[in-house]
Amino acid sequence: MLRMGDAEMSDSVLSVRDLVVEFHTRHGALRALDRISFDIGKGEVLGVVGESGAGKSITGSAIIGLIDPPGRITGGEVRLNGERIDNLAPDAMRKIRGRRIGMIFQDPLTSLNPLYRVSEQLIETIRTHLPLSAKQARQRAIDLLAEVGIPAPERRIDSYPHEFSGGMRQRVVIALALCAEPDLVIADEPTTALDVSVQAQIIEVIKKLCRERGTAVMLITHDMGVIAETADRVAVMYAGRIAEIGPVRDVIKAPLHPYAAGLMGSIPSLESDGETRLVQIPGAMPRLSAIPPGCAFNPRCPQVFGRCRVDRPEPKPVGNRIVACHLHDAQISEAAA
C-alpha cells in the first residue's frame, strides 16, 4: 500500500505532505526537511530509519509542534485523522499532545519527573485529558502499568522513577504515552539505551500496542534490526528527504535505493558463516550547509552517474514502494506507459 494519494490520505491516522522545516541563521536558511511525505494507518508501525543527521527526530518534533527556534515549518502540512495540525496555535497544539498524540523518548527520565511518584505523574496526565475521578484515574494507571508489563503494578505505582530499572522506566513512559488513548504514538529511539534482551521486551510491548489498541506508531531509530522486528513499513531518510519507503520485508530483502541497500547490508544475518563482512557506506552524512547539488547521496553512492550530480530525484512509485533515485526512472516510465 503506497498511501500517497488523496484517497489514501483520508484513511490515514497521520498524513504528512511536502513538509519543509528550515533553520534560519545569519548565513541564511538551512533546510533540515525537504518536502517529505508519508502516511501511517490505524494499527500500523512505520519505521523511520537513517544515520544521525538524516532528519528523523526533526520529523517527529515537527509533527508534535516542538521545533525549537530558529527552526520552523515553512511548507507542507500535517494532518491527524484528516484535521490539519501544523498550523495550530501553541495552546491548541498542547491539547493535541498527550491527548491524541503520545510520545516515547529515548531517555525515560526526559519524560518522568524524578521528584514525583509514578502514580502522581500518571494520574495527573490521565485527569488532564479524561473526565475521570482520582480513584478512577488511579485504577486506570494501574491497568496501564499492568498492560505494559510492570509486575505488581498496585505496589509499584507509588514508586519513584529511580526505583525502576532502565527497561521498567521505559515501560512506565509507554504507559504515560497511552494515558489518554491517543490515535498516534511517536517513539523516538525508544530502545537505544537498553540492553538487547530488554530491547526485545520493549519491541513486543509496542507491537502489542498496535495489535490490541489499533494505535498508529511512528518508530524513529537508527537500528535496522529494531525496524525489521517491529515495523510494517519503513521510510529510509537521507539528508532531510525520504530516499525509499515501502513494506519492511521488501525493503530489507531487495532495497531499491543505493543508500537503503547500504543500510540493509549493515544488518547481521543469522545465516552468515561468521566471515561475511558487513557493508560499510563510505563518507558521512552532509551538513545542512553543504548538501551537494543533485542527489544528496551522490558523493557516497556506488552507482552514481552524471545526472545524479545535477538533478535532484523526486520520490516516485516503483512497484509497491516510493523511491527517489534516477536509477529507476526507466522502470517508472515503463509502468506509466
Asked whether 149 and 180 are in contact (CB, 8 A), the reply is no
Mean pLDDT by 10 residues, the chain (337 residues): 49 94 90 96 94 93 92 96 94 89 83 93 92 94 92 95 91 90 91 81 84 90 87 96 96 94 75 60 90 95 94 94 89 47
pLDDT of residue 271: 58
Give me 107's grid cell: 531517555
Asked whether 242 and 322 are in contact (CB, 8 A), the reply is yes
Q: CA distances (Å), 257 to each of 162, 262, 325, in order?
A: 44, 9, 6
